[in-house]
Each structure stands twice: as C-alpha cells, then as structure tokens.
C-alpha cells in the first residue's frame, strides 16, 4: 500500500531580473532544489502585494518565500526597498496574529547566485516541512 | 460631560450660515435613542436650532464626509472637528482628497466620548442617558436609575487619547489642549508578550465574530479609494460563509495594511464595529512597528509629510530581523 508522504507546497515569488535568473542558473548548474517549490515570476519583488502572499496561504500554500535583487541592485532602482518595508510590516503582523513566522521569508538572490538559490530553497523547504501542514492560514473551501 | 456647550456650536453655525461664509453644516442629530447620535448635514439655521446635537455620543469623525461634500458645490461647508478628527483632516489634505478652500473648519474641544457598547451592556431598556461630569446616570424602563463612573464608559480610544491638540482649524471654540503621553501601545505589548498559540486563539476568537459588514472600511477616514479591493468578487474575501477560516484574518490584515502609515489612530473602526472587535489593535500594531523600525511618525500631524510605507532608506531593517526583534522584545 502506498503511504501518502507529506510534501509541503511552497510558493516562491521571484523577481524577473535577479532571482528568476538565479533559479535558471541553479538549473543550468544541475543544482538540486525541491520540486515542491513553485516559482511565480514577477517583474519586481515590489510587484508582490501582501494580498498575493495571504491568498497563496489561503489556497493551500504551506510556505511563501519572496526573492528579489539585493538591496541597491533593483532593476527599477528602488523597488526592493519598498518590498523590504512592506514585508517587514506584514511579517510582523502575521506573527502578531499568532502565525508561525518560519512560513514566510524574504531572501535577496542575484542572477549570479544559483548556488544560493538552491541552498535557500532547500533550507526553506526543510523548515516548512518541519512545521507541517499549514492549518492556521488555510481555507477549507479552497481545498481540492 | 462636554466642556463646551451646545449653544456655542449652534450659535457659531447659525452665524456662519447667516453671514454667508458657509451654506452647509456638518453636525450631529438625534437618532432613535439618546445614544444613537447620527451625522447629519444642515442647511438652515432653523434646522440647526431644532435638531443639532452636541454631547457624549458625537463621536463621528466628519473628515471623510468632506471628500464627497466639497465636490458638490462651490460654496464652503462648515465642519466641526474634535482634536482626533483634525489628524484625519490633515491626512486627507496630504493625499489631496478634498479642496481645503471649500471647507470652514471649526475646532471643538473634546472630553472623550462615551462608548455606546459599554452603555448598552450595562443596562437594559435604556430610556435616557445624562452625564453630570464624573458620573453618568442611565434611566431605564424597568430597573430605575443606574449611576456609573464616566471613566468606565469611555471607549479605549478615549481612555488612551493621543492628543487634545487641534492640528488644523480655521477657528477654534474653547481652549486648545496638548499632545498627550498616552499608553496606547500597552495592549499591543500585552499581546506581543503572549505565546503565538495564545495570540492565535485571541484573534481567532475576535475575528471569527466578523460579519463582513464593511463598516470599518466605510467609516475609516484613511480608506478613501473610489474602487476598493474588497469590492472585487475575485478578491477571495468578499463573502462570509464560515466563521473559522483564514478569510477574516486576511480581510483584517489587508484592511489594516492598506492604511498602514496613513492611519491616524482615530479609532473609528472599533467604534462602529457592531461585533465589538478591537480593530484598533491591528492598526496600532502597524503604528508601533513603524515607530520602532523607521522612527516615530504620526500620520496627519502635519500636512504634506511622507508616509513611511511610501518611503525608504538603504539601511532599513530586514523582514526576517523585524520578526525576530518582536521575539526578543
């Protein structure tokens, strides 16, 4: 009999200019990272509205990670600085509501950091898997 | 009891109407019960004489009403602003939401408004509420008179009043106060000290009562988008089907997030909530975080200031550190 092993569902928002290219590089270099990580490409990390993150959780994500260019390297000059402020406030608020703070993360990954991308995703997937299923943020109506 | 008398406001409004400075007046009028005071627009001195109310239940903040009202006519509209209302007034001016030239603002001092919810829960069959300064006498239909301490009936926003100072007005009635040293973050700190499980249980209990009436959004002087994200049927938060889902939390996080940095902490959201959810605790958490991460900032304290959420420095705190910092606090 086959046992359904728990696999976390992770949504990664990656900016088009740095982190998405970083993910590409990780692939080109044959670096492993979990297949549970679903990448969504965004034009800039600051395109990510707090609602995107919350809705990902509502629809069943167990962890959400947001990757962008390193501060100072934004393709649009300052997008990631705004992201940094927004996410600091949002994550602090999620923590205030009693939601596990390990489920959300912001990481700066440049286009040259394929290794860092793979490493970050491996680490994040491990952390989220250890936390188990996302019960506090899910919406049963969205369950498949 | 309010320090300034109704007659002073009525005379001022009538005078300004008669000399043509304004042709409309925002004020309060009596609702069904003594504690149901509703906002109203007056156009004649006669109506003001008969129907204008000023007292302990005139909590409504008129700043947001100005957006629509100033667009209707070229003439000025008179508005009475309590100290906390003036912050919202300034914030809306900062965002260019109405034309300052079309408003005549009269500052009125405030001694704290009474909490309708607390009054209603302390007596049944209320027929009359009178305020004698320190004591509030509630006359009831069946149980006679009940006398209560005024301080016990103040809502949280007035107990932790942040300022008695008017930051915007054309004319001031009575004396101006000062910015106060309030303990408004005490309750937020209390929550922060709980364990995540306790916090989750607390908010689950509070927010699951939400009936999604949108009153908090509609009353909020900072929520002034003409098209609101919550009116989008695909937003995922537009309906109320179950009580224990994340949807409520999502709605309230986003509601508070959309006004983060612009919220003046006027407390209207909690005042109008029919379910008595302490919504100001969400807003105050954002204000507290902004203060500690990016330096103290009071929205609406001056016209033209730039909200921290639309600003940045290269040395800002990393989101991961921001969360860990809460842990250590």
B191 and B290 in one domain?
yes
Q: Is residue B75, in this structure, part of any structural domain at all?
A: yes
B89 and B102 in one domain?
yes
Give the A window 78-97 contacts with B, CB below 8 Å.
Answer: 78, 81-82, 84-97
> Using CA atoms, how far apart are residues A126 and A61, in angstroms rounded to an integer?
15
Q: Is residue B180, in this structure, part of any structural domain at all?
A: no
Residue of A57, A97, A143 to mutate, interface with B, max B Cβ within 10 Å: A97
Q: Is residue B181, in this structure, part of any structural domain at all?
A: no
Q: Is residue B179, in this structure, part of any structural domain at all?
A: no
B256 and B123 in one domain?
no
Q: Are B269 and B280 in contact (CB under 8 A)?
A: yes
Count the domains in chain B: 3
Q: Does A139 touch chain B (CB under 8 A)?
A: yes
Task: State yes or no: pLDDT of A3 exceeds 70.
Answer: no
- Identify the pLDDT of residue A87: 95
Task: State yes or no: pLDDT of B287 exceeds 90.
Answer: yes
Across the range B117-127, mean pLDDT stands at 87
Give the A window 14-73 contacts with B, CB below 8 Å.
Answer: 50-51, 54-55, 57-59, 71-72
Instruction: Provide the pLDDT confidence category of residue B329 given band limits of 50, 70 and 90.
Output: low
Chain B CB contacts of A99 under 8 Å are 196, 200
**Are B309 and A140 a contacting pair at CB < 8 A?**
no
| Domains, in order of start, for chain A | 10-135 (3.40.50)
B133 and B265 in one domain?
no
**What percent of chain B is predicted at pLDDT more than 90?**
60
Q: Is residue B121, in this structure, part of any structural domain at all?
A: yes
Prediction pTM value = 0.92
B109 and B10 in one domain?
yes
Q: Is residue B125, in this structure, part of any structural domain at all?
A: yes
B316 and B227 in one domain?
yes
B165 and B18 in one domain?
yes
Residue of B262, B319, B329 to mutate, interface with A, max A Cβ within 10 Å: B319
Across the range B31-49, mean pLDDT stands at 90
Residue B172 parent element (H or E): strand B171-172
B314 and B190 in one domain?
yes
- Identify the pLDDT of residue B236: 66
- Identify the pLDDT of residue B243: 55
Q: Are B102 and B108 in contact (CB under 8 A)?
A: no
B217 and B314 in one domain?
yes
Structure tokens at B48: 């003001």
- Identify the pLDDT of residue B309: 92
Residue B292: domain span: 186-328
Cα distance from N-terminal residue to C-terminal residue, chain B: 40
A2 vs chain B: nearest CA distance in angstroms? 31
Q: Give the domain-ending residue among B107, B142, B172.
A: B172
Q: Is residue B177, in this structure, part of any structural domain at all?
A: no
**Are B202 and A91 a contacting pair at CB < 8 A?**
no
Query: How far is CA B21 from its chain centroid?
Result: 28
Instruction: Provide the pLDDT confidence category of residue B328 given band limits of 50, 70 and 90.
Output: low
The shortest CB-CB distance from B318 to any of A50, A84, A98 is to A84
Cβ neighbourhood burial of A45 (10 Å; 0-12, 13-18, 19+): buried
Q: pLDDT of B137-193, one tens digit each?
A: 999 888 888 899 998 899 888 988 889 999 999 999 988 888 888 888 999 999 999
**What percent of chain B is predicted at pLDDT more than 70?**
96
Q: Give the domain-ending residue among B106, B140, B172.
A: B172
DSSP state, B182? -
Chain B CB contacts of A89 under 8 Å are 257, 260, 286, 289-290, 293, 309, 322
CA nearest B193 in A: which residue?
A96
> Using CA atoms, how far apart are residues B321 and B276, in angstroms rounded to an integer?
33
Instruction: Provide the pLDDT confidence category of residue B261 given band limits of 50, 70 and 90.
Output: very high
B146 and B40 in one domain?
no
Query: Could you tell me how many CB contacts below 8 A there are between chain A and chain B?
Result: 129
Q: pLDDT of A91-102, one tens digit each?
A: 999 999 999 989
Cβ neighbourhood burial of B292 (10 Å; 0-12, 13-18, 19+): middle
Across the range A95-111, mean pLDDT stands at 93
B54 and B85 in one domain?
yes
> Using CA atoms, how far apart are residues B114 and B129, in angstroms rounded to an integer?
11
A136 vs chain B: nearest CA distance in angstroms? 7
Question: What mean pLDDT is reported for chain B?
Answer: 90
* Helix A79-96, helix A50-58: angle, nearest 10: 50
B149 and B93 in one domain?
no
């Amino acid at each position: 009999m086959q046992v359904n092993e728990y696999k976390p569902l992770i949504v990664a928002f990656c900016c088009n200019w740095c982190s998405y290219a970083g993910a590409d590089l990780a692939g080109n270099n044959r670096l492993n990272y979990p297949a549970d990580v679903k990448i969504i490409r965004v034009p800039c990390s600051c395109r990510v509205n707090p609602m995107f993150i919350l809705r990902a959780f509502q629809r069943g994500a167990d962890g959400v990670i947001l990757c962008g260019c390193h501060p100072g390297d934004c393709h649009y000059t300052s997008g990631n600085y705004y992201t940094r402020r927004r996410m600091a406030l949002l994550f602090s608020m999620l923590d205030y509501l009693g939601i596990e703070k390990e489920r959300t993360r912001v990481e700066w990954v440049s286009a040259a950091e394929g290794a860092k991308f793979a490493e970050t995703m491996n680490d994040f997937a491990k952390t989220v898997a250890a936390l188990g299923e996302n019960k506090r943020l899910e919406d049963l109506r969205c369950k498949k | 009891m309010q320090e300034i008398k109704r007659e002073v406001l009525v005379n001022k409004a009538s005078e300004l109407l008669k000399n043509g400075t304004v042709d409309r007046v925002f004020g309060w009028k009596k609702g069904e019960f003594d504690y149901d005071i509703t906002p109203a627009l007056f156009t004649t001195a006669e109506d003001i004489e008969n129907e204008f109310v000023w007292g302990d239940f005139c909590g409504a903040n008129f700043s947001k009403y100005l957006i629509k009202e100033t667009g209707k006519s070229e003439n000025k509209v008179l508005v009475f602003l309590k100290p906390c209302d003036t912050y919202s007034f300034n914030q809306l001016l900062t965002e260019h939401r109405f034309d300052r030239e079309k408003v005549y603002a009269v500052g009125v001092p405030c001694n704290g408004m009474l909490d309708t919810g607390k009054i209603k829960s302390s007596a049944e069959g209320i027929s009359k509420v009178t305020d004698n300064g320190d004591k509030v006498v509630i006359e009831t239909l069946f149980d006679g008179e009940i006398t209560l301490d005024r301080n016990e009936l103040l809502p949280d926003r007035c107990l932790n009043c942040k300022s008695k100072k008017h930051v915007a007005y054309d004319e001031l009635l009575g004396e101006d106060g000062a910015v106060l040293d309030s303990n408004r973050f005490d309750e937020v700190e209390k929550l922060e000290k709980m364990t995540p499980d306790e916090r989750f249980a607390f908010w689950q209990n509070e927010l699951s009562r939400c009936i999604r009436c949108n009153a908090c959004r509609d009353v909020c002087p900072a929520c002034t988008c003409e098209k609101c994200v919550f009116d989008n049927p695909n937003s995922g938060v537009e309906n109320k089907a179950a009580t224990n889902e994340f949807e409520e939390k999502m709605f309230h996080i986003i509601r508070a997030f959309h006004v983060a940095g612009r919220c003046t902490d006027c407390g209207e959201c909690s005042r109008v909530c029919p379910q008595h959810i302490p919504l100001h605790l969400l807003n105050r958490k954002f204000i507290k975080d902004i203060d500690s991460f990016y330096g103290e900032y009071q929205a609406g304290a001056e016209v033209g200031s730039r909200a921290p959420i639309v600003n940045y420095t290269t040395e800002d705190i990393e989101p991961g550190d921001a969360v860990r910092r809460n842990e250590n606090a």
